[in-house]
């Protein structure tokens, strides 16, 4: 594939895509990232917050975004919404949880994405990206990919985590040694994308392997302002670097800036809802009312305890995935998860006094939420952050499942074996937990984010007016413009999103390098309002 591609955003999908496209020495790849690059450093030389996956990094390499977690927005103040601003993206600062989407997720996406997005369609790319250090010999795993996947075994868990897992077993939950196997559920070790104890982001995997290729240019500390168009054909991007404004022209443009910044860039470039473009005096290139809609994320509700044991076995090392009673009635398999994490509560936007003890926070995750939010742009200035409305737990079934999960966790924490390891249950208190009205009100004050924004530019066929990109990720109504990040997903997957983002980068790289010229050009129906 001759020619050139400019990619905006060096996160999990963008980094994977850039590395794969640059394997062809005849193809020029330019990767633009708003944050700094550490590609020339060894693992040992990386900044502490980028290297250490025991705690999430929420400020040192962050965009400083905030969002409204519940509606009405005035009920609760704006909350931090960390996003990685660094080569490697949020994959350089997150919890390094290497979960695949489930086979059920991909079955749900078939209607919008066709056979390319079924389990069988994506499995070759899930295998291509991974080097599973525990189950690589199994036919649904890979061993040659750039991203190592490992699990901490039970002897490496904090005593409180061990006790939680034992309590789950006593409640009848099955052991699950591999949550990346088809149909996986139960309790067991969390898969992590780690190299030793270092986050295996796209920066230290895909891009470090590709770094130095003469046809790959990485431009860091460069903030993209807009996509450039000739009519309805994308021809390059405009960006800021070193207090100046520069342009790069390319044969194709790919936005991989994530589910917040990709729709932000589209709107700044004249692609989005008519009223937004009109209000901001942005000349329309293409009106698409779906840009920025359908925002989904995993709402998380924390049950915070303090441990008797002082441990250095930090982060997510085990988990419980299960089908709730309500989920079963609604036909939703594996709709809930719980992560017992030894971590600083502040990384979850929680102001908790830990009294010098280690906090074991049980993160109750509504893994298949029905609630949907939105984001929009309030200024044509690219430095003004978009307005984010996550609208967590607005669907009654989401709140009901969250309440039931919190009650189950607190009950477990009050009984042996878990109670033997817990010095104190900090939140919620027993009175709140027992009362429906009080518990719902408390949850609305503490519900926080999993940092898994998706679906703001979701895929679908051209006739689907709620979609932004085709099943092969070309932007509807435009030419030579693709999106490769979690914004294209139909809804948030059951699992955490990092491996799915890697897979999206792999998937688009394959299409761009193997399709016919006509298909690879991303030709879509004629421009106009959608």
Positions marked active-site: 452
| DSSP of 42-90 | -GGGS-HHHHB-SS---STTB---EEB-SSSGGGS--EE---B-STTGG
Within a 13 Å sphere around the CA of 80, how many CA atoms are in the beta-carbon half?
Answer: 15
Neighbours of 283 (CB within 10 A): 8
* Contact in structure between 292 and 390 (CB atoms under 8 Å): no
Neighbours of 218 (CB within 10 A): 21
Q: Give me 392's structure tokens.
A: 């967590």
Q: Is 124 helix (H, G, I), strand (E, B) or coil?
A: helix
Using DSSP bridges, classify how beta strands 481-483 and 147-151 pair: parallel, antiparallel or unpaired. Answer: unpaired
Q: How does DSSP classify residue 188?
A: E
Neighbours of 242 (CB within 10 A): 7
* Contact in structure between 403 and 443 (CB atoms under 8 Å): yes
Q: Give me 341's structure tokens.
A: 């994490």
Whole-number Cα distances in Å, 24 to 6, 19, 39, 181 = 15, 10, 20, 32
Neighbours of 139 (CB within 10 A): 6
Burial string for 69-89 (b: 16+ CB within 10 Å, else e) reads bbbeeeeeeebbbbbbbbbbb
Q: Give me 139's structure tokens.
A: 């036919």
Neighbours of 465 (CB within 10 A): 12
- Tell me the chain's radius of gyration from C-alpha atoms: 22
Q: Is 208 helix (H, G, I), strand (E, B) or coil?
A: helix
Element (H, E) at 440: helix 436-446
CA distance 461 to 471: 7
Q: Give me 164's structure tokens.
A: 């939680």
CA distance 170 to 175: 11
Q: Is 352 helix (H, G, I), strand (E, B) or coil?
A: coil
């Amino acid at each position: 594939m001759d020619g050139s591609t400019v990619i905006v955003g060096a996160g999990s999908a963008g980094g994977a895509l850039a590395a794969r496209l640059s394997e062809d020495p005849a193809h020029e790849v330019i990767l633009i990232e708003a944050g700094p690059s550490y590609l020339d450093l060894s693992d040992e030389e990386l900044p502490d917050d980028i290297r250490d996956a025991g705690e999430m990094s929420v400020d040192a390499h962050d965009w400083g975004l905030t969002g409204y977690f519940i509606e009405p927005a005035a009920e609760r103040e704006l909350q931090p919404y960390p996003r990685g601003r660094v080569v490697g993206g949020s994959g350089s600062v997150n919890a390094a949880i290497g979960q695949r989407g489930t086979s059920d997720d991909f079955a749900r996406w078939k209607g919008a994405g066709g056979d390319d997005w079924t389990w069988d369609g994506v499995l070759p790319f899930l295998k291509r990206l991974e080097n599973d250090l525990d189950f690589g010999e199994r036919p649904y795993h890979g061993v040659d990919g750039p991203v190592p996947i490992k699990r901490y075994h039970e002897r490496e868990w904090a005593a409180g985590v061990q006790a939680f897992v034992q309590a789950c077993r006593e409640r009848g939950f099955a052991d699950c040694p591999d949550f990346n196997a088809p149909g996986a559920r139960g309790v067991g070790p969390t898969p992590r994308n780690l190299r030793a104890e270092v986050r295996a982001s796209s920066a230290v995997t895909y891009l470090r392997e590709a770094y130095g290729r003469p046809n790959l240019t990485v431009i860091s500390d460069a903030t993209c302002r807009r996509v450039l168009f000739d009519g309805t054909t994308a021809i390059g991007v405009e960006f800021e670097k070193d207090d100046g404004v520069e342009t790069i022209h390319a044969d194709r443009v790919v936005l991989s800036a994530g589910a917040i910044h990709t729709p932000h860039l589209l709107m700044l470039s004249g692609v989005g809802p008519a009223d937004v473009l009109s209000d901001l005096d942005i000349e329309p290139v293409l009106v698409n009312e779906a840009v920025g809609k359908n925002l989904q994320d995993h709402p998380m509700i924390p049950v915070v305890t303090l441990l008797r044991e002082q441990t250095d076995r930090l982060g997510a090392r085990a988990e419980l995935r299960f089908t709730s009673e309500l989920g079963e009635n609604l036909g939703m398999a594996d709709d809930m998860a719980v992560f017992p994490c030894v971590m600083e509560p502040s990384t979850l936007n929680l102001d908790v006094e830990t009294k010098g003890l280690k906090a074991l926070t049980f993160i109750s995750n509504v893994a298949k939420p029905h609630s949907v939010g939105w984001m929009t742009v309030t200024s044509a200035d690219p430095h003004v952050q978009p307005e984010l409305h996550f609208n967590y737990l607005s669907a009654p079934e989401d709140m009901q499942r969250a309440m039931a999960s919190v009650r189950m966790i607190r009950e477990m924490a009050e009984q042996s074996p878990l109670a033997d390891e817990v010095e104190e249950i900090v939140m919620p208190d027993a009175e709140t937990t027992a009362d429906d009205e009080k518990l719902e009100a408390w949850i609305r004050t503490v519900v926080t984010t999993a940092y898994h924004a998706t679906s703001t530019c979701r895929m679908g066929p051209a006739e689907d007016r709620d979609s932004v990109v085709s099943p092969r990720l070309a932007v509807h109504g435009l030419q030579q413009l693709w999106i490769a990040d979690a914004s294209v997903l139909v809804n948030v997957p059951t699992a955490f999103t990092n491996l799915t983002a890697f897979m999206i980068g792999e998937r688009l790289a394959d299409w761009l390098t193997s399709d016919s010229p006509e298909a690879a050009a991303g030709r879509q129906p004629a421009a106009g309002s959608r």
